Structure 1
């Protein structure tokens, strides 16, 4: 019984995520941009996880034709971008945030978007330990806004990854208050044995 109490207390007060709790997330709102804009398609792992050694695949599930088999918008594998499996229309126009992978930020930057770039994008992490390994982002190219100067459009990309982690830690105290009765019971069981 004593072992069970320590196990429960350890699970409650462990700040690190348990295996299987990671998930790939993105904004549910579509990214709307004008032709010529630079866009950021948000894709994050929650809770934040170092993704530097993981494979990250960005693809177009709505693509009409793939003449060379599977082509990617952006493929990151073995700590580098893989160019030979990349769709030619995206060569030289995509990137991931340089330091973002360390904090679970796999957001894709596409420069100089065209009308052909509009559609559905899939961010996929094949070897992520979790239930949700992919997320979908929709990009809409507004053809009526050609008069605006080019700009960067984003979908709520996390610029400071530690800010969310800090808010989770700040909320930890309120979460632990709901476990106060369980802690008291465990302490009583410990002293009664």
Structure 2
């Protein structure tokens, strides 16, 4: 009985020790998949402790090769050791540190930010780390290449977006017509004070869609003066195309009606034939008639000459008709009458 109790207590003690050791051991995990984000955007590089552990009194360090990206000691950022090109662009989640969230937020991405990042966690003499890859892609302002047609009095949308798409709600977006400001957006809000007077109250952006890179402009109640080239501009869009031009064509309702009517009008009708075509036909007919007349006259002349030769040669022999022949004798003309026997 005592042996059985001893064995049971030993097994319980071993299991308790194993569980205590497992629960006390903290592991660090990063994303196994590369993080892909466009240039100028803000990205979060995930890193966490498992099981959760308060990391506010430890040292959290992010590096990229030999560059110090961010250091946090005892819940305070250490700016002096940070590499210059990362200054003002990095942060940790202070509330998240209490739950073991060591993720790094990196803003205003540049193409040079691409690479392999190391997240390190140091508690006393123990240090653990993991790696995550970041790929920064190039994004461009994509606008319509074809002119946008519209009628006076209508509302029109000038399409423009960023490709690949990313959140531009924290950036500056500006639309211009020639040298005048049509619409300006900055820091999550519109700035109507800098807008040209003739566009006030007639323009808007699609705020809910800006997180997906949509920066299209809606222009209401357009007039003939609104026609021309519009420029969509993102000033702080680094390492890529920052602007795009769109042509707006405005026609009045009367012009549109006339164009449609002209498109259905026939060129000519049977009652009103084309004068040029009639003249050409008349000249052609006269020419053909002249040629036929010349040919007919030539044929008649040819037949007449041939008939004369035939009579001159054949009539004396076949019909015995007396003909007159003149001869010269001693300088006098003598008429000789000859007949066929």
TM-score surpassing 0.5? Answer: yes
> Hey, what does 1:145 align to over in structure 2?
256
Check conservation: 2:169, 2:207, Cα contact below 8 A. Answer: no
2:169 is aligned to 52
1:68-111 superposed Cα distances (whole Å, 9 cap, x missing partner): xxx41000012111011100101110000131111000000001
The Cα shift of 1:43 comes to 1.0
1:79 corresponding residue in structure 2 = 188
Distance 1:113 1:41 in 2: 12
In the alignment of these two chains, the number of paired residues is: 128
Q: Distance in 2 between matches of 1:27 and 1:127?
A: 22
**Structure 2: distance between partners of 1:129 and 1:30:** 27
Rounded to whole Å, the distance in 1 between the matches of 2:216 and 2:166 is 14
Q: TM-score, normalised by structure 1?
A: 0.61
Alignment match of 1:123 (pick from 221, 232, 247): 232
Is the CA contact (8 Å cut-off) linking 1:49 and 1:104 kept in structure 2? yes
TM-score under structure 2 length normalisation: 0.36
2:250 partner SS: strand
What secondary structure is seen at the aligned counterpart in 2 of 1:52?
A: coil
Unaligned runs of 5+ residues in structure 2 are: 1-32, 40-109, 112-137, 259-341
Structure 1 alignment gaps of length 5 or more: 1-9, 64-70, 148-193
Cα distance in 1 between the residues matched to 2:218 and 2:150: 13
More strand by share: 2
Structure 1 residue aligned with 2:42: none
Determine which structure has greater relative contact order: mean sequence separation of CA pairs < 8 Å that are 6+ residues apart, divided by chain length: 1
Aligned CA RMSD, in angstroms, stands at: 1.9
> Does the CA contact (< 8 Å) of 1:23 and 1:130 recur in 2?
no
